[in-house]
Amino acid sequence: MSQILARAAAYPFLLNGEWISNGTPVEIHSPFDRSVVGHVFYGNTSHVETAIRASVAAFQITRKLGSYERERILGTISRLLSEQAEDFARTIALEAGKPIKTARQEVERAIYTFKVAAEESTRIEGEYLHLDTLPATQGRWGIVRRFPVGPIFAITPFNFPLNLVAHKLAPAIAAGCPIILKPAPQTPISALKLARIIDEAGWPPGALTVMPLSNEDASTLVTDERIKLLTFTGSSVGWDLKSKAGKKRVLLELGGNAAVIIHSDADLAFAAERCAQGAFGYAGQSCISVQRVLVEKSVYREFLKLVVIATRAMRVGDPLDETTDVGPLIRETDAMRAESWVKEAVAQGATLLCGGVRNGSLLEPTVLTNTRPEMLVNCREIFAPVMTVEPYEDFNEALRQVNNSPFGLQAGILTRDAQRIFTAFNELEVGGVVAGDVPTFRIDHMPYGGIKDSGLGREGLRYAIEELTEPKLLVMNLGA
């Protein structure tokens, strides 16, 4: 072990109620300056087998927990997380490179996620059915109740290392499902710290495993039939995981290249400010970051001027600096890839209005115009602080341009015309339409997920709980 690794804080993983540090030690580096944030321990195939067996055994406990117990545990998690909020925010800033003020917002959202999960754990809906609707069914009625599916395997990405973990763990606890979590290799520390809180809150031993793993060692959790559901947030590799998952249920959130339509009746100053924030916050590393902006032709030039001003006002730098708006990309190779896509677009005729300059893993917020739909900056998910802006003349054509994408997560529309809003709602091929704002908007209890290559299923506490439970029918025959 290197000297740096020896000096760094150590974060063991949680397995079957114990904190394990006999795995392979791995350094976690800041994406900003490559300093060592800490080190974690990777589990192996033996640890995976222990995790599966512990989850299966724990399911016999969690499936019988009263809703008041699940509510108490989730409420305690929310409270403890609130008490440690600043420590978590600093951890996110260090390991993910997220600006500290944005990291604080993520922690606030995670606190809320567990709070809502506590509430939802006591109102998982059932149903009463009239079954005496034919003479032959006289005296019969039914009730439908939802039951937890069983042990879950969850994989989370780097970009929201606390709140996207919360979106896996909170609904699982609310539903009564044991869960094994593989956190992102770049940002596991936030998840391991959260696991300590959940353990302290009283979730049964064995019902939670949080363990860094190589993809190879994690493969058993994808294929093993004792795991009843796979939930994955990340890249298009999710489709490959689905093909290997066998009979288990699969939930996927796989990103997008979100578009926003700005019509001539919109507040252009507001639209420009929100587009800059939506495109460049956390260096564009969000599945619903603004990537494509379509502006009605009569206000296109005015919007361009405003959005460039808003973009140039954003400060790039150290994520621990309170004034920083845009920090580093998670890896320098990601910044290099985004830079190359921008240069390729310019070489093919696009106009660079601002940004495009890279310094290591930092990429200045970038605005392009005169692009074409087939350019990589438009047709792929760039996951970087890059926005394209193009004019449109016909509103229906703008809708078609938004739909001209393999992705379908969220889209935004800024107009005061209710008819256009409802037309967009009917016609856009996305999981969510945000009217009066950019597609980057999300609050954690709303249904969230996409269609096409953007995934399967929905997150958002009540909706996720439905995904993690199965309805079961009881038929009563009073005439027997």
Burial class, 312, CB count within 10 angstroms (exposed 0-12 / middle 13-18 / buried 19+)? middle
Q: Which residues have C-beta within 8 Å of that of residue 180, sequence separation ≥ 6?
A: 51, 52, 55, 151, 152, 153, 154, 208, 209, 211, 221, 227
CB 255 within 8 A of CB 409: yes
Q: At a CB cut-off of 8 Å and minimum separation 6, what does 34 contact?
A: none
Q: Are 415 and 263 in contact (CB under 8 A)?
A: yes
The CA distance from 263 to 347, in Å, is: 30
DSSP-assigned beta bridge partners for residue 142: 129, 475
* 266 Cβ contact list (under 8 Å, min separation 6): 299, 414, 415, 416
Which amino acid belongs to residue 146?
R
Q: CB 271: neighbour CB atoms within 10 A?
A: 26
Q: Is 83 assigned a catalytic role? A: no
Q: Which two tokens stand for residue 140?
A: 């019969």
127 noted as active-site residue: no
User: What's the token pair of residue 253?
Assistant: 């959130």
**Is-contact 448 442, C-beta < 8 A?**
yes
E strand or H helix at 69:
helix 67-83
Find, among 192, 260, 222, 150, the residue nearest to 10 by Cα.
Answer: 192
| Structure token digits, residue 330 | 């998670």
How many Å separate Cα 109 from the centre of its chain?
12
Q: Of 95, 106, 120, 253, which residue is the catalytic one?
A: 253
Query: Distance (Å, rounded) from C-alpha 285 to C-alpha 266?
Result: 26
Fill in the DSSP letter of residue 416. Answer: S
Q: Is 83 exposed, middle or buried (0-12, 13-18, 19+ CB in 10 A)?
A: exposed
Catalytically annotated residue among 287, 364, 466, 467:
287
Phi then psi dihedrals of residue 83, to 5 deg? -65, -25
User: What's the DSSP call for residue 466?
Assistant: H
Strands 432-435 and 410-414: parallel
Burial class of residue 418 (count of CB atoms within 10 Å of its CB; 0-12, 13-18, 19+): exposed
Show the tokens assigned to 439.
Answer: 């597609």
Q: How far is CA 319 from CA 30, 86, 95, 291, 452, in A?
A: 10, 14, 10, 22, 34
Q: What is the set of active-site residues?
A: 253, 287
